[in-house]
A and B are shown apart, each in its own frame.
Chain A
Amino acid sequence: MERTLWGDAWRRLRKNKLAIFGFCWIVLLILIALTADLWVPSVLGSPTFVDTATAAEMTRLRPSLEHPFGTDVLGRDELARVIYGARISLAIGAIAVSISLVIGLVLGTTAAYFGGIWDSIIMRGTDIFMAFPYILFAIALLAALGPSFINMFLAIGIIGWTPIARVIRSVILQVKQNDYVSAARALGANNLRIVLRHILPNSIAPVVVYATMAIGTAILSEAALSFLGLGIQPPTPSWGLMIADAQKYLADAPWLVGFPGLAILLTVLSFTFLGDGLRDAMDVKVTQ
């Protein structure tokens, strides 16, 4: 078998029980979220439709065989809502972190590769963004653009670019000293080719580690923003929104708070474990 960086990393990762636990939970969650439309509505019931005729008697039923996580205040199956909430959380994780990655990689690479005035401008830019406490920036942006699905992707994505830019900058500053970079330059390769073919492939491991952990942070941010009413709007189920709705019923329906929170905990923990595992397996230090 060919020994590559990724092959070696995978062999080491397999021995890390926590990372494998995280990996399996994430894969399972993705499968459930992707196939939800095929079986959830017929088996558990619709996550959004409210049957006004039966809502009064179906409200806040305790967990049972028929409704494993109970029912919410409008009589909808809580498990169905948690499953559909997973779609939102995974989408936020994937899309928001992709936005951060694109901005962070482009700016971080530019700063490190060209240095000088570019480095100063871009790094002062990260200083400005980092002056905002994480969630406040998102609140201000959503207050300005209005709460919506797409604006939330943007808000969480834009706030996340600074650490990625710093990580990639510090790595490239070291990588660009290597002889093979000088060799490529001597052979007449242009800047774009040097960056894409020689520098980025050798700098990407710490970014992969950081991005994995950033997915967890993005999921937590989505929960917080939806909880505050700035993110996902009803009736779409989101874990943060479900917790907000259930707060009124802490005393008589604690499971409505419990299950969405447990889903967040397990998912974020999985991304953290996987990120930790990747860091050890690829032997990188994530510094900002």
Chain B
Amino acid sequence: MLAYIGKRILQFIPVFIGATLILFFFRAVIPGDPVKLIAGERDLPEAIYQQIVANHHLDEPMYVQYGYYMSDLLHGDLGTSLQRKLPVLNIFAEKFPYTARLALCAICVEILIGLSAGIISAVKKYSFLDALVTISTSVLVSVPAFWLGMLLQMFFGIFLKNVTGGAISLPVSGAGAISSYPVWMHYILPAITLASVSLAYTARIMRSQLLEVMNADYIRTALAKGLSKRAVIMKHALKNAMIPVITFIGIDFGSMMSGAILTETIFSWPGIGFEIFRAIGQRDWPIVMGGVILVVFVVMIINLIIDISYAFFDPRIRYGKKAGD
């Protein structure tokens, strides 16, 4: 087990270096004078200009600059916001809990709705419900999630409110704002929006896995022994069908972190994504780049943990070949 963990961490290093190289390259090709990007568009005395060049190692060769860049990253220095003059890491430290909480709520929605829809549609194969699940998952993966979020806002925030005279409605903007709703209600619409695409995939994978497992020999044996179909599904089939689904949900946490940019934008959610969106509007590139690195890093760590825990639960992976190879 230790050897496996060591191997996975070693594999993680070149991917991390590669990803940072790409982002460093992007930063290096930003057009314009890098000193002006740091100090703003104004005329500087020559002495101060040279000082900025020296402080940021702009006169060194590229590979030395990359070394400084990596060292800053590993020390947790993501640069300083141009507009707000604050360290980028401090800005995101404050925003991160909001995004993490939203992503966790979305995962709950994904598990609750995605799994049950997939199970129902596999157990009642070719029924009306199965067709309904198939059609709605196709639609969910074909619409932009931000559009779906706006439709939810329109229905729950505006239409229902007008029809019921304000008796039934849901808040359409982020937590933390002053509002008459309890805090937890602010999570409902953003969590559903963020989960929409993922839960469609979860339902599809759950359905196909369960259908595949139901053809296995041990299921036929269990049925032949006289167990009820319900007991067979609950005790034998689901357990084995779940493994790929759980992997998918785990890896999906990463796409939720990036999908959060769109969801947070339409719901004005005070998280990392909304901050990145605001920074794009203000052309505050250190925040955008810092946010991207942060999310990429969190996603890579999560994927690493999932890989390791997966090997912990399924010994075949530890000893045999990598899954998917």
Interface residues of A (CB under 8 A from B): 124-125, 127-128, 131-136, 139-141, 143-146, 216, 220, 223-224, 227-230, 240, 243, 247, 250-251, 254, 257, 261, 264-265, 268-269, 272-273
Contact = CB atoms under 8 A, between A and B. Distances in A.
Given A265-B139, A268-B142, A133 B296 contact: yes
A79 B196 CA distance: 28
Contact of B147 (A134, A145, A243): A243
Given A128-B18, A268-B142, A139 B292 contact: yes
B154 A257 contact: yes
A273 B141 CA distance: 12
Interface string B270-309: 0000001100110001001100100110011001000000
B185 interface: no
Contacts of B262: 135, 224, 227-228
Nearest to A133: B258
Return the 4 tightest CB-CB contacts between A and B, nearest first. Answer: A133-B258, A128-B18, A144-B26, A261-B147
Interface in B165-203: none
B22 A250 contact: no
B interface, over-half SS: helix
B285 A272 contact: no
Given A136-B258, A140-B26, A269-B138, A127 B146 contact: no
A257 B15 CA distance: 40
B280 A229 contact: yes
Interface of B: 14-16, 18-19, 22-23, 26-27, 29-31, 138-139, 141-144, 146-147, 150-151, 153-154, 158, 254-255, 257-259, 261-262, 265-266, 276-277, 280-281, 285, 288-289, 292, 295-296, 299-300, 303
A163 to B, nearest CB: 13
B217 to A, nearest CB: 23
Contact of B143 (A131, A132, A254, A268): A268
A144 B28 CA distance: 8
B41 to A, nearest CB: 16
15 contacts: A124-B14, A128-B14, A223-B144, A224-B144, A227-B262, A228-B280, A247-B266, A254-B154, A257-B154, A261-B150, A268-B142, A269-B138, A269-B139, A269-B142, A272-B141
Given A257-B150, A257-B151, 18 more contacts: A124-B15, A131-B15, A131-B296, A132-B22, A132-B296, A133-B299, A134-B255, A144-B289, A220-B144, A223-B147, A228-B261, A228-B265, A247-B150, A257-B147, A261-B143, A265-B139, A269-B138, A273-B138
Contacts of B138: 269, 272-273
B19 to A, nearest CB: 5
Nearest to A287: B324
A136 B146 contact: no
A125 B277 CA distance: 28
A265 B143 contact: yes
Contacts of B22: 128, 132, 140
Contacts of B158: 250-251
Given A124-B14, A139-B288, A228-B262, A261 B144 contact: yes
A228 B257 contact: no
B143 A143 contact: no
Contacts of B146: 224, 227, 243
Contacts of B277: 228-229
Contact of B15 (A128, A136, A141): A128
A128 B258 contact: no
Nearest to A223: B144
B18 A250 contact: no
Contacts of B150: 243, 247, 250, 257, 261
Given A143-B289, A230-B280, A261-B144, A127 B15 contact: yes
A203 B23 CA distance: 34
A125 B15 CA distance: 8
Contact of B153 (A128, A223, A250, A272): A250
Contacts of B292: 136, 139-140, 143
